[in-house]
């Protein structure tokens, strides 16, 4: 049976797709149903379907973007797109991505059946072609009924009865006991695949003695599963001896074979029918490497199973605070902000796509800041590549954090070389805001800083350094100049009217400030006794 994944955000549509054709008769079995792109990527990792039927209008990233991502991650996956849009631009992009077919909704059962028959022919012919070349690109031999049987158990892709399973163990001479099986996923990084012969080399006596028997199954390129029976009395959760053996195996693969690898240990399958779930648990354990990094052994923990975030994305990034710190030149505070962001993500453990979106929120603020300071993106991103592509290529949360901190460091290196023009721009913005809002009695240092998105201490410092006066002194001087202009134009204005017009709610306080700045009271100035202090603007 060919494993299939259906992706549509409407349960009714998924149900209609399932009922439209006899999937088993056509040689398919539906192993996963996803309601959004996040689930689809997770299920693709867990179930490795050969065919995906994807609606174009799904949450997070749309169906075409998902298809593009799936084809990048799993080049041999066949994809059928469902859509309500009869637009050539969509069809053209679908063809460019490598989608097999593009079906319009509502779905015609005969069209779906025809597309599935085509998909089956494509998949079967590809498998035959790979066999003729001697080996699949996954490293799994084509005619490998023993491996096919074990993969069917692990992927839960076959309808195997307990009798079928018992016959399979006997027929293929599988040495491990059919009870109390522990799956351990071994996943490596790199272009060169890890072979069975390589693994056999590093399964030394220490590892073999931990288990009664061992079986190796290749699931796909760079992913093997070690199946073993525990020597100790089995529990649902593996004990310390298994952890030691797994750690020993990882070190052997790293030091002797020079492969980077991570291991995921699942739950113990009491009976073969539970092996698919135990393998799923091993995959979830391995998923923890995204949060904690590569080259480690991870154990499935039931209490951590599942994701805590809601289906709707809410950014954990305070965009305004980040921009304020960037404009204020507060590199240490930004580094601390990034540390807090990633610490929150590590604690919450949302899905990878959520983390990518949070990272892109931070990056988009930085891109805005770079543009504001006329710094080209090519200086921040290698070969001017798209930031999202860079983020999606990262393997773990620690790698994302290190990358973002490096971007911040590069930004401040460039800014330090361009500090004079940047501070000039900030001071000009502050002056313009003061001059345009001096009538506002609530105008303050905090309000000015907030408007131009910098900290009060930063704008206060650069303003004083560039103009030689404090920002409050500049505001006061400007208000008094405007008061003089008003009284020059209309000597009959009362002191209260003038005070209110230039941003003073208290006429008595205005009179005190005016006398201090001009050396004369406002009423005397208005009567024509004009003798302001020299040197005052």
**Averaged pLDDT, 323-344:** 86
Confidence of residue 464 (pLDDT cuts 50, 70, 90): confident
**Averaged pLDDT, 51-58:** 92
431-449 pLDDT, tens digit per residue, is 999 999 999 999 999 999 9
Hey, CA dihedral for 295, 300, 304, 308, is it positive or negative?
Answer: positive
Question: What one-character-per-residue DSSP string does 158-197 give?
Answer: S---HHHHHHHHHHTT--S-SSSEEEEEEEE-SSSPPPHH
140-144, 390-394, 517-521: which range is least confident on average?
140-144
Q: What is the reported pLDDT for 260?
A: 87
Radius of gyration of the chain (CA): 34
What does each C-alpha distance from 125 to 51, 120, 135 come to in angstroms?
Answer: 14, 8, 14
Using DSSP's 3-state secondary structure scheme, residue 200 falls into helix
**Averaged pLDDT, 137-164:** 70
Q: What is the reported pLDDT for 432?
A: 92
The DSSP letter of residue 110 is H
Confidence of residue 389 (pLDDT cuts 50, 70, 90): confident
Cβ neighbourhood burial of 149 (10 Å; 0-12, 13-18, 19+): buried
275-279, 421-425, 519-523: which range is least confident on average?
421-425
Domains of the chain: 2-132 (3.40.50.2300), 145-303 (3.30.70.270), 319-408 (no CATH), 421-526 (1.10.10.60)
Cβ neighbourhood burial of 416 (10 Å; 0-12, 13-18, 19+): exposed
Residue 310 has pLDDT above 50, yes or no: no
Confidence of residue 380 (pLDDT cuts 50, 70, 90): low
Confidence of residue 34 (pLDDT cuts 50, 70, 90): very high
Residue 134 has pLDDT above 50, yes or no: no
Candidates 289, 388, 391, 401; CA nearest to 336 is 401
Confidence of residue 86 (pLDDT cuts 50, 70, 90): low
Instruction: Report residue 26: phi and psi, to 5°.
Output: -85, -5
Helices 11-20 and 109-132, axial angle in degrees (round to 10): 70
Instruction: Select the more confidently predicted residue: 530 or 326.
Output: 326
What does each C-alpha distance from 433 to 372, 476, 478, 513 come to in angstroms?
Answer: 18, 14, 12, 21
Q: Are 246 and 263 in contact (CB under 8 A)?
A: yes
For residue 480, how many other CB atoms are within 10 A of its CB? 21
What does each C-alpha distance from 256 to 250, 293, 294 come to in angstroms?
Answer: 10, 21, 18
Instruction: Select the more confidently predicted residue: 130 or 449.
Output: 449
Q: Are 9 and 58 in contact (CB under 8 A)?
A: yes
**Averaged pLDDT, 238-256:** 86
Confidence of residue 386 (pLDDT cuts 50, 70, 90): low
Candidates 410, 405, 404, 298; CA nearest to 360 is 404
How many Cα neighbours within 13 Å face the side chain of 140? 23
Top mean pLDDT of 86-90, 149-153, 375-379 is at 149-153
**Averaged pLDDT, 1-17:** 89
**Averaged pLDDT, 448-469:** 86
**Averaged pLDDT, 530-536:** 44
In the chain, % of residues over pLDDT 90: 25
∠ at Cα 190 (189, 191), nearest 5°? 145
Q: Are 156 and 210 in contact (CB under 8 A)?
A: no
Q: What is the reported pLDDT for 129?
A: 64
In the chain, % of residues over pLDDT 70: 86
Instruction: Select the more confidently predicted residue: 533 or 500.
Output: 500
Longest CA–CA separation in the chain, Å: 115
Instruction: Report residue 238: phi and psi, to 5°.
Output: -65, 150
Q: Are 27 and 157 in contact (CB under 8 A)?
A: no
Q: What is the reported pLDDT for 231?
A: 65
Confidence of residue 536 (pLDDT cuts 50, 70, 90): very low
Top mean pLDDT of 95-104, 221-230, 296-305, 367-376 is at 221-230
Q: What is the reported pLDDT for 35?
A: 92
**Averaged pLDDT, 31-36:** 92
Strand order across the 2-7 sheet: 28-34, 2-7, 51-55, 78-83, 101-104
Q: Are 522 and 493 in contact (CB under 8 A)?
A: no
**Averaged pLDDT, 497-509:** 93
Could you give the residue ranges of the DSSP H alpha helices within 349-455? 352-372, 387-392, 397-416, 419-437, 445-451
Q: C-alpha 365: how far from its chain's center? A: 16
**Averaged pLDDT, 357-375:** 82
Instruction: Report residue 218: phi and psi, to 5°.
Output: -90, 120
**Averaged pLDDT, 320-344:** 86
**Averaged pLDDT, 222-239:** 74
Q: What is the reported pLDDT for 130?
A: 53
Q: What is the pTM of this model?
A: 0.52
What does each C-alpha distance from 83 to 67, 86, 107, 116 come to in angstroms?
Answer: 13, 8, 9, 16
Q: What is the reported pLDDT for 224?
A: 93
Residue 414 has pLDDT above 90, yes or no: no
Confidence of residue 186 (pLDDT cuts 50, 70, 90): very high
Q: What is the reported pLDDT for 419?
A: 59
Q: What is the reported pLDDT for 309?
A: 47
């Amino acid at each position: 049976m060919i494993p299939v994944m259906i992706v549509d955000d409407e349960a009714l549509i998924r149900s209609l797709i399932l009922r439209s054709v006899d999937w088993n008769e056509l040689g398919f079995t539906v192993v996963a149903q996803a309601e959004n792109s996040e689930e689809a990527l997770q299920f693709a990792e867990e179930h490795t379907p050969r065919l995906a039927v994807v609606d174009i209008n799904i949450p997070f990233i749309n169906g075409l973007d998902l298809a593009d991502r799936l084809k990048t991650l799993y080049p041999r996956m066949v994809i059928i797109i469902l859509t309500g849009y009869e637009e050539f631009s969509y069809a053209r992009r679908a063809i460019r991505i490598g989608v097999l077919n593009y079906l319009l909704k509502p779905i015609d059962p005969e069209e779906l059946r025809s597309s599935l028959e085509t998909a089956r022919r494509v998949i079967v012919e590809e498998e035959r072609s790979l066999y003729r070349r001697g080996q699949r690109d996954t490293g799994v031999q084509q005619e490998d009924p023993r491996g096919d049987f074990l993969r069917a158990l692990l992927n839960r892709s076959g309808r195997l009865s307990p009798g079928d399973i018992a016959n399979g163990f006997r027929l293929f001479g599988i040495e491990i006991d059919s009870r109390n099986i522990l799956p351990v996923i071994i996943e490596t990084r790199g272009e060169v695949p890890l072979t069975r012969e390589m693994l056999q080399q590093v399964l030394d006596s220490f590892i073999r003695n931990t288990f009664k028997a061992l079986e190796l199954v290749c699931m796909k390129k760079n992913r093997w599963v070690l199946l073993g029976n525990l020597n100790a009395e089995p529990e649902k959760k593996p004990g310390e001896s298994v952890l030691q053996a797994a750690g020993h195996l990882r070190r052997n693969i790293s030091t002797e074979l020079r492969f980077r690898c991570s291991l995921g240990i699942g739950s113990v399958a009491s009976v073969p029918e539970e092996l698919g779930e135990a393998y799923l648990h091993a995959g979830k354990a391995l998923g923890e490497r995204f949060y904690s990094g590569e080259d480690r052994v991870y154990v499935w923990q039931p209490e951590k199973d599942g994701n805590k975030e809601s289906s709707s994305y809410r950014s954990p990034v305070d965009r305004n605070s980040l921009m304020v710190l960037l404009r204020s030149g507060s590199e240490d505070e930004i580094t601390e902000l990034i540390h807090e962001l990633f610490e929150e993500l590590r604690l919450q453990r949302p899905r990878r796509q959520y983390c990518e979106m949070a990272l892109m929120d931070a990056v988009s603020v930085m891109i805005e800041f770079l543009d504001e300071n006329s710094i080209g993106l090519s200086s921040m991103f290698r070969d001017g590549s798209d930031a999202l592509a860079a983020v999606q290529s990262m393997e773990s949360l620690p790698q994302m954090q290190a990358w973002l901190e490096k971007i911040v460091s590069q930004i401040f290196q460039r800014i330090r070389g361009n500090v004079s023009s940047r501070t000039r721009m900030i001071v000009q913005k502050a002056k313009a805001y003061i001059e345009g809002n001096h009538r506002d009695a609530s105008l303050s240092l905090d309000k000015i800083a907030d408007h131009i998105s910098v900290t009060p201490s930063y704008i206060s410092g650069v303003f004083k350094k560039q103009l030689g006066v404090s920002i409050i002194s500049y505001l006061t001087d400007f208000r008094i100049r405007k008061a003089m202009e008003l009284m020059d134009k209309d000597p009959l204005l009362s002191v209260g009217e003038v005070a209110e017009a230039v941003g003073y709610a208290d006429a008595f306080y205005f009179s005190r400030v005016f006398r201090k700045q001009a050396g004369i009271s406002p009423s005397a100035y208005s009567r024509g006794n004009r003798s302001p202090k020299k040197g005052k603007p």
